[in-house]
Structure formats: C-alpha cells, structure tokens
Amino acid sequence: MTLRGHKPQPFDNMKGLWDRGDIDNVPLDHFAEATNIDFIGAAIVTRPGIGLSQDVVAPIQNIKRIYNYPTQDANTLIILTENEAGEGEIYHYINATTIYGPILTIDGMTDFAFVSYAGRGYISPFTTFQTGDIFIQKGLENEFLYVYAGDGTAARQAAGLAPVGTLTVAAGAAGFTDAGFKVFAVVFESASGWLSQPAAFATFTTLPNNSVSFGNVPVGGLGQEIVRRHIVATKTIASYSGNTTGYEFYFIPDGIINDNTTTSLNNISFFDIDLIESASYLLDNYTAIPAGANLSLYHERLCLGATFDDISLILVSAVGEPEAISQIDGLIIVPLDGNPVTNHQELRDVFYVFKRTRCISYVDNGEEPSSWESTIVDNGLGTGVHGISTVLDTGSSSVDYLLVATFGGFQIFGGRFMLPELSWKIEYGWQNMSRDEWCDIQIVNLPIQKKILIVIPDGRILVCNYSNGLDPKNVRWYFWEFLMPINTVAIWNIDTVILGSPLVTI
C-alpha cells in the first residue's frame, strides 16, 4: 500500500547509531539516536537490567575504579572507593557476600594502576594533575608501589629496606672452604619473593679445613613480611680495597635461615666454585619503588610508568621478580615530548608504550631494559591510562590485536593503527568527547557476548556490538544510560558485567 505516492520502507535490519554530523545524512538503516537498546540477532530489544552485586551489611559506596583480580583460585575484583574524608580506599571483592578491606588507604588517591602476578596484586596510586591547560596522570608524590597478598591482610609497600647491623663471622667446626679473605652480607627475602639489597657486611679470612659460622644475623622489621634470610659472600679476594660493595656477591648454597627470628647459622661449608648465583644485581635495586600511573607485564617483568618526578620514565623489573627494579639498568626513557606515558602493553612479543598522541615499541633483546632500542610506531595517535580494552581477566590483548581509544577514534591496533576506525559511524560524537576527561574512559571486551563496553566521560556506556563482524561497516553502536552515572566497569566470572558508580552501590 502506498501513501501520497510513497512506497513503504521496511526497517528489518537496523545497524545501530550513526553520528557523523548532519542528522539529515543518517542512512535509513541506522538510528540518529540509540539509547538503552540491545540486539539479539537482527531483533532490537531493551538493554539488560541491573541489580545489586553486594550482599553484605555495609556495602562499599562511591566506587571510582574496578579491575579484575585473578588470584590463584578465583576470579575476584579490586575496587577503589572514596571515603567521607576524601581518602582513596581499596577493597578486595571475593564474591557478593565476602569483601575484604580496606586493604589500602591513601589520601589523594583518585585512581590507581593494577596488575596481578602469581596471585598477588600490585597497586600503584595516582591522580590527575593540571599543567597549564593540560591534565595529566602521574604517580602521587611521596607514594609508592604496593603489593597485596590477596588474603585480606593490608597491602604493604613493595620492595623494602636492606638489613641493618653487622654480621659476625667465625670459623666453624671441621669442614671446608677455600682459604682466603672474603666479604659476607645478609639478604632478606619476603613472602612475595622480594630480595633485599645485601647489607650488614662483614669481612673474614676463611680456613681450608673449617666451615664458617654466622651470628648477629639481622631480622626484618614490622611490615616487611620477611620469611627467610640468605647469607651471601664474595669469592676469595687477593687484594682487598676496603670497598665492601665493590666485589661480586653470590648466594651461598646452604646459607639460608628459613625464618625471621633465628640470629645464627652454624657450620656452613662451601668452595668458591660453589658460588654460582650472583646477588650483586640487588645492590642497585630500589628499596622503595615510586608510584606511577600505569602498570603492565612484559616477559614476566613488571613495568611501571609516569612517576611523579619523571612522566616519561618506565621502571622495568628483573624477570620473575616484580619488586626488583634496578635504578641503573631497569629504566626506559621514552622520547620526551612534554606528555606522560599513559599506557603500555605486550602484543606479539613486542612492548608497546603509549602517550596521549604517540606510540613507541620496544623489543626485549635479552639484555637489560635500559639497552632496549625504541621504534616510533605513530607520532599522532596514542591513548589514555585506561584506553586499552581488557578481555575478561586475561589482560588487554585479544588473540592478535589491541582495542584502543585514541583521540581519532576507537581503533584496532595490531602493530599499527588500522583505518578506518571502528568508530567511523560515530566519528562526530567520538571526537567531541572531552579530552580533559580522557582518563575516565575505560573499556572491556566481552568476546562471548561479542560486545565492547566503553565507559565515557559523561557517565554513560557506549556499546560496540560486533556480533555481525568486528569491522567499521558491521559493528553496531548504541548507548546504555542509567539513573546514576557510571564511571568504571569490569567483567566478573566470564560474563557478569560489574558497574561502579560514584552515587550508589551496584
């Protein structure tokens, strides 16, 4: 049937929101406005409802940031809130009825970076600073990286102080050592595997037919969580200069005290040839790791960027030792341009570092991080501190690409930014979001539901539905909005969406 000479136009396969400026240019199979809808196949339905995710007497309120926290036996959440005094408080959400915390409280912490490693959580407090007309994110002044055991106990400052005191060394019972002058010291080991700088130095001339005994072995202080102590030694020194730290130290194979109370270790025998594992690298490590605005893992190394004092610096730990960062060799200085490091992720064995409008790559060459060469990937596109999508609880890369929020659009990154952007259909709306609040964008990818949820600065969620294909033509865009603003999102237990609001608990 026709009306006034016009044929009816069926709308049986709508393709989401179109926002490229002029509303008169919206195609007939797209919406000029699309809010609180969803798609099941080609059918249009209302968005899913929401409910409370906490069933405790005193639910945590005023939620600022949520991260996935995979422990060794569960998929949990780590949550930042703000209390009535304006302090940032971090809680550990196990499930709806079990919430630990606050495990860490820091004045001025409006956001934090987080990674999980070996079941432990590493937390770096930061906030937003204004420099002229630019808002940047960097670590809080006089604050540090923290490590959380995942068991409800308070998070402690990562790394720690070296032993204090003076070790005593004497000849032990009959045994063996290479005769000669040596320097001995003590190394602390914490519950998280951190090893301190060698300290409490002592010199002694060993005898060929005797073992060696040690006394006055220092113990760790409150909050250090020291679980064992190691005795380290140099090999025989022919001509001693008097500089205790000027020689290579090695772990004595049997030189271990497996507690934090015993102050002696007796009758240890060893030859110089038994001293294989070096401990000298510990001498240059940070005793307190400064806070930064971003954390990631690359080749089993913890990477921390944008400290308060140096916004273009990335601190990189030793392999498998996230709290061991050398102040000499564990540093990457990202090309200076007045902008801070905002993000970094591993993809296909390459370490990609982002600033707001820049991307640089580094490759582990098997040497110390300070020797890794940089390659400029893009001088015009970068991202924010939360601008790379996370995928369930597995990190940020999905199969073979990253999903990145840039000023130019929402893009697939596979070693370069791919054009056209996934957000091509909504280019006008995307590019008109507030750049001063770019740090508020947070993204999660739901590969099972084939949706990407993007928390945007105005408190809404921008949804990218890619059930018809992850490409600019076939993705379908729309908004979800609620009675309260949303400022953070995470996925819990595979497909449960957890939302955080500054006003209520959800």
Q: Which residues contact 327 (CB under 8 A, 6 or more apart)?
A: 284, 285, 286
Q: Is residue 454 part of a domain?
A: no
Range of the domain at 197: 168-284
Looking at residue 505, its pLDDT comes to: 55
Q: Is residue 233 part of a domain?
A: yes
Average pLDDT, rounded, for the chain: 92
Q: Is residue 352 part of a domain?
A: no
Looking at residue 398, its pLDDT comes to: 47
Q: Is residue 81 part of a domain?
A: no
Q: Is residue 194 part of a domain?
A: yes
Looking at residue 395, its pLDDT comes to: 52
Mean pLDDT of 210-233: 94
Whole-structure pTM value: 0.92
Sheet containing 265-268: order of strands: 168-174, 210-215, 265-268
> What is the token pair recorded at 92?
């550990």
Predicted confidence band of residue 72 (pLDDT cuts 50, 70, 90):
confident
- Cα separation, 61 vs 346, in Å, equals 34
Integer-rounded Cα radius of gyration of the chain: 28
Sheet containing 294-298: order of strands: 294-298, 301-305, 313-316, 331-333
- What's the total number of domains in the chain? 1
Q: How many helices (H) and strands (E) does the chain have?
A: 1, 35
Looking at residue 394, its pLDDT comes to: 55
> Please, are residues 475 and 464 in contact by the beta-carbon 8 Å criterion?
yes
Q: What pLDDT digit, counting tens, does each position of 248-306 carry? A: 999 999 999 999 999 999 999 999 999 999 999 999 999 999 999 999 999 999 999 99
Q: Is residue 161 part of a domain?
A: no
How far CA 361 is from CA of 237, 358, 425, in Å, comes to: 43, 10, 30
Phi-psi region of 437 (alpha: psi -120 to 50; beta: other; left: phi over 0): alpha
Q: What pLDDT digit, counting tens, does each position of 307-354 carry? A: 999 999 999 999 999 999 999 999 999 999 989 999 999 999 999 999
Q: Is residue 53 part of a domain?
A: no
> Please, are residues 297 and 117 in contact by the beta-carbon 8 Å criterion?
yes
Q: Is residue 35 part of a domain?
A: no
Which alpha helices (H) appear in 423-482, and where do they start and end?
427-431
